[in-house]
């Protein structure tokens, strides 16, 4: 009889890409699921994912990481909830600051969800590490969203 495989363990085949090229990654806590998500991001988006993860980790040492709903989430090391997540779309990577309206200045894209602001990264865009790092630091100091 074959051994049972946990539903949270990735098969050896590449993850399925959902609508817009977002990787379908099993939920999980910690760095490993986030790195699996980034490794599965298609094309130029993978480079963006690596850069975002590095900038977030640099801005908030010890940041908590998880994958939920096929998206990486980041939380303050000693806090509860999450302050940021990102997701692949066909033409950009959307970074969601869950309390982005409270940031100074707020990220440029607004949401229909109260308080949420987005930062979109398109192919060829340069991310300003100082601006992005400042947003991340500010966001990590606000109460996190529970999800």
Domain ranges for the chain: 19-140
Q: Do the beta carbons of residue 66 and residue 17 sit within 8 Å?
A: no
pTM of the model: 0.87
CATH 3.90.1150.200 fits 19-140, yes or no: yes
In whole angstroms, how far apart are CA 15 and each of 21, 85, 144? 11, 19, 29
11 pLDDT higher than 80: no
At residue 92, the pLDDT reads 97
At residue 136, the pLDDT reads 98
Greater confidence (16 vs 70) lies with 70
Q: Return all residues near 62 (Cβ < 8 A) that are at least 6 apart.
A: 77
Q: Rounded to whole angstroms, how far apart are CA atoms 29 and 47?
A: 22
């Amino acid at each position: 009889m074959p051994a049972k495989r946990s539903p949270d363990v990735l098969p050896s085949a590449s993850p399925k890409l959902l609508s817009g090229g977002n990787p379908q990654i099993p939920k999980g806590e910690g760095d490993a699921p986030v790195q699996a998500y980034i490794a599965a991001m298609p094309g130029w988006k993978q480079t963006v994912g690596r850069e975002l993860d590095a900038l977030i980790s640099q801005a908030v040492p010890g940041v908590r990481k998880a994958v939920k709903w096929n998206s990486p989430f980041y939380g303050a090391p000693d806090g509860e909830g999450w302050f940021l997540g990102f997701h692949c779309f066909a033409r950009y990577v959307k970074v969601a600051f869950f309390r982005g309206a409270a940031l100074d200045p707020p990220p440029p894209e607004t949401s229909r969800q109260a308080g949420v602001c987005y930062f979109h990264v398109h192919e060829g865009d340069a991310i300003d590490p100082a601006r992005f790092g400042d947003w991340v630091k500010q966001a990590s100091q606000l109460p996190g969203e529970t999800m």
